[in-house]
Chains A and B, each alone.
Chain A
Amino acid sequence: DQQVKQNSPSLSVQEGRISILNCDYTNSMFDYFLWYKKYPAEGPTFLISISSIKDKNEDGRFTVFLNKSAKHLSLHIVPSQPGDSAVYFCAASSAIYGGSQGNLIFGKGTKLSVKP
Chain B
Amino acid sequence: GAVVSQHPSWVICKSGTSVKIECRSLDFQATTMFWYRQFPKQSLMLMATSNEGSKATYEQGVEKDKFLINHASLTLSTLTVTSAHPEDSSFYICSAGRLAGGPPNNEQFFGPGTRLTVL
B4-56 interface (Cβ within 8 A of A): 4, 6, 9, 32, 34, 41-46, 49
With beta carbons under 8 angstroms apart, the residue of A9, A43, A49, A107 that contacts B110 is A43
Inter-chain contact count A-B, CB under 8 Å?
Answer: 63
* Number of B interface residues in the complex (CB < 8 A): 29
Contact flags B78-119 to A (C-beta < 8 A → 1, else 0):
000000000000010111011010000111111111010000
With beta carbons under 8 angstroms apart, the residue of B45, B49, B94, B113 that contacts A41 is B113
Expressed in whole angstroms, the Cα–Cα distance for A107 and B43 within the complex equals 6
- Measured between beta carbons, the chain B residues less than 8 angstroms from A49 are 105, 107
A44 at the interface (CB under 8 A from B): yes
Q: A43-B6, A43-B110, A46-B107 are in contact. List 9 more A-B contacts (CB 8 A).
A: A9-B41, A43-B93, A43-B113, A89-B43, A100-B105, A101-B32, A101-B100, A108-B41, A108-B42
Q: Top 10 closest A-B pairs, CB basis? A: A101-B97, A43-B110, A106-B43, A106-B44, A108-B43, A44-B110, A43-B112, A43-B113, A43-B93, A43-B111
Point out residues on A near B: beta carbons under 8 Å.
4, 9, 34, 36, 41-46, 49, 89, 98-104, 106-109
